[in-house]
């Protein structure tokens, strides 16, 4: 019998329907997957603890049998009205012409069997998903996970009181797996959930997860914070999660993780599971990141821009820590710097060890990326560094990565190894978005469609096209000119992670 390995699964219920309504719960995926101010600015860091609310109390363990019998019902009554169900769908209308298979299905199984809709209308193929969300503004702004609405074009939101509304997609942020939708024409009575302070959470604190697991309806579960700053989860670019044992399951995606004051401290996004169900290991995106994305949406932006450092950092191994005289591995090591970048201008040097960002300790590249991403696009931030045996601070100027030349996005439509790939000219802005180190010039693969010729050829996001049939490629115009012709053989050289690979493909 094959062994079963645990994996991360998204907390979203999905199904595919053709013609009449057909619903089927999605199978557990075979890979790790997640459960995308002023218009150009992310919210400033709000990691400093907030003032205690009047109903906050000192944390103590139960002192009597009566205390053990206390109820969380008052907290649920306060928080539950802010948690919603998010229904998303992507509908593709098929043409009216029939194929031979359509005619076969119609004759033997009836009109609907031929892939046509009710009443003989052209058939529709609908992909649907079900998740959760949280109302964070009385105007109708709702936070959810990006993977709940990814590739979807229709969204509906159902409130706890069973009212339903259409919603528009305001902002997608795949890098955090967060998205913001807005309820169309709300009729009033929307209850916004206040933000809590995710930075003040401690392991052992009580929390509650509220969402719509498996589509059964709004459900509340209770547990504790099992761990903080989990960075090896793999469900987004900014890995810095709250871990909880509160039971969360598929359908909880985008739901609320709340503290005992009914405030949002996290958005549930993934679970670690062998079966697709809860095994007591769930992960939530901290409220500090959620707040930043929501504030960006409130400012009118449709995407989130983050500060650019212009340096590559790496983890500190035990050997490196020992060579630097550290008691244990901590911080991130500056491995390289880009010319004229904020990192270089701040005086950072290769080999510096970054220990903190504005006083917040960082232990690995994921934690560093999370802390730096929250800093905004104006002003400066302070890095605590170790250089040799001396500790010092440097001030890094905050700002977006520059677009040093036009992207000239290219989607190759002729048959070639690049069919299905999205190609762009490189720049610091492109490098920041696809999270790779890119040279000053070249053509980068910004995306690859599933099951496309480019995917089968092995192209990956972040690859840099170096040459085709021996001809150097500097811009997308170079690549477009070469791919206009049908060739019997393609020799493609790419730079992947600093290593040049050359492959030969048939025409």
CB 86 within 8 A of CB 142: yes
Count of CA atoms in the C-beta half-sphere (13 A) of 222 = 10
Is 253 one of the annotated active-site residues of the chain?
A: yes
Residue 393, helix vs strand vs coil? strand
Show the tokens assigned to 239. Answer: 């890995």
Comparing CA positions, the residue from 445, 485, 490, 486 lying closest to residue 468 is 490
Q: Which residues contact residue 448 at a Cβ distance below 8 angstroms, ignoring those fewer than 6 apart?
A: 420, 421, 422, 454, 455, 459, 460, 461
CB 505 within 8 A of CB 478: no
Report how far residue 232's alpha carbon sits from residue 241's, in angstroms, rounded to the nearest whole number: 9
First to last CA, the chain: 42
Is 363 one of the annotated active-site residues of the chain?
A: no
Report how far residue 178's alpha carbon sits from residue 34's, in angstroms, rounded to the nearest whole number: 10
Residue 287, helix vs strand vs coil? helix
Report how far residue 90's alpha carbon sits from residue 94's, in angstroms, rounded to the nearest whole number: 13
Comparing CA positions, the residue from 391, 397, 322 lying closest to residue 353 is 391
Residue 63, helix vs strand vs coil? coil
Task: Write down the catalytic residue from 147, 198, 278, 478.
Answer: 147
CB 320 within 8 A of CB 328: no
C-alpha triplet 23, 25, 30: angle, nearest 5°: 140
Comparing CA positions, the residue from 181, 127, 125 lying closest to residue 158 is 181
Burial class from Cβ neighbours inside 10 Å (0-12, 13-18, 19+) for residue 21 reads exposed
CB 450 within 8 A of CB 424: no
Residue 501, helix vs strand vs coil? strand
Report how far residue 445's alpha carbon sits from residue 434's, in angstroms, rounded to the nearest whole number: 9
Report how far residue 358's alpha carbon sits from residue 398's, in angstroms, rounded to the nearest whole number: 13
- CB neighbours of residue 335 within 10 Å: 13
Between the alpha carbon of residue 384 and those of residues 25, 394, 397, 422, the distances in Å are 49, 7, 14, 39
Task: Write down the catalytic residue from 235, 253, 278, 416.
Answer: 253
Task: Write down the catalytic residue from 35, 45, 177, 478.
Answer: 177
- Tell me the torsion sign for CA atoms 308, 310, 316, 321: negative
Active-site residue list: 147, 177, 253
């Amino acid at each position: 019998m094959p062994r079963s390995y645990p994996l991360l699964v998204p907390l979203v219920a999905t199904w595919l329907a053709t013609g009449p309504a057909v619903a089927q719960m999605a199978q557990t995926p075979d890979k790790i997957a997640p459960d995308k101010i002023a218009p150009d600015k992310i919210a400033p860091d709000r990691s400093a603890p907030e003032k205690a609310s009047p109903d906050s109390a000192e944390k103590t363990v139960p002192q009597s049998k009566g205390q053990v019998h206390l109820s969380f019902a008052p907290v649920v009554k306060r928080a539950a009205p802010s948690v919603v169900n998010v229904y998303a769908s992507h509908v593709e209308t098929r043409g009216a012409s029939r194929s031979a298979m359509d005619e076969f299905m119609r004759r033997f199984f009836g009109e609907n069997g031929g892939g046509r809709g009710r009443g003989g209308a052209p058939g529709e193929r609908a992909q649907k998903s079900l998740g959760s969300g949280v109302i964070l503004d009385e105007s109708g702004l709702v936070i959810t996970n990006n993977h709940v609405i990814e590739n979807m074009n229709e969204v509906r939101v159902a409130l706890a009181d069973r009212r339903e509304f259409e919603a528009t997609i305001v902002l997608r942020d795949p890098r955090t797996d967060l998205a913001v939708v807005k309820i169309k024409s709300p009729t009033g009575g929307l209850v916004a959930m206040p933000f809590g302070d995710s930075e003040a959470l401690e392991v052992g604190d009580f929390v509650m997860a509220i969402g719509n697991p498996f589509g059964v309806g709004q459900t509340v579960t209770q547990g504790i914070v099992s761990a903080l700053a989990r960075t090896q989860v793999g469900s987004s670019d900014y890995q810095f999660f709250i871990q909880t044992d509160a039971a969360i399951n598929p359908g909880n995606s985008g739901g609320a993780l709340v503290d005992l004051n009914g405030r949002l401290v996290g958005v549930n996004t993934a679970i670690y599971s062998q079966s697709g169900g809860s095994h007591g290991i769930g992960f939530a995106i901290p409220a500090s990141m959620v707040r930043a994305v929501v504030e960006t949406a409130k400012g009118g932006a449709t995407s989130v821009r983050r500060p650019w450092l212009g340096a590559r950092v790496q983890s500190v191994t035990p050997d490196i820590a020992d060579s630097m005289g550290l008691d244990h591995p901590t911080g991130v090591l500056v491995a390289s710097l880009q010319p004229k970048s904020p990192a270089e201008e701040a005086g950072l040097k290769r080999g510096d060890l970054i220990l903190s960002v504005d006083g917040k300790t960082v232990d690995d590249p994921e934690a560093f990326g999370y802390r730096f991403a929250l800093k905004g696009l104006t002003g400066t931030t302070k890095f605590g560094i170790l250089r040799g045996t001396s500790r010092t601070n440097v001030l890094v100027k905050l700002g977006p990565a520059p677009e040093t030349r036009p992207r000239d996005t290219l989607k190759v439509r002729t048959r070639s190894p690049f069919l299905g790939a999205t190609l762009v000219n490189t720049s610091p802005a492109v490098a920041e978005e696809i999270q790779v180190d890119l040279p000053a010039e070249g053509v980068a693969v910004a995306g690859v469609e599933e099951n496309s010729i480019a995917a089968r050829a092995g192209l990956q996001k972040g690859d840099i096209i170096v040459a085709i049939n021996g001809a150097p490629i500097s811009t997308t115009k170079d690549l477009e000119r070469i791919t206009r012709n049908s060739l019997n053989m393609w020799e493609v050289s790419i730079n992947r992670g600093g290593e040049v690979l050359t492959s030969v493909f048939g025409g």
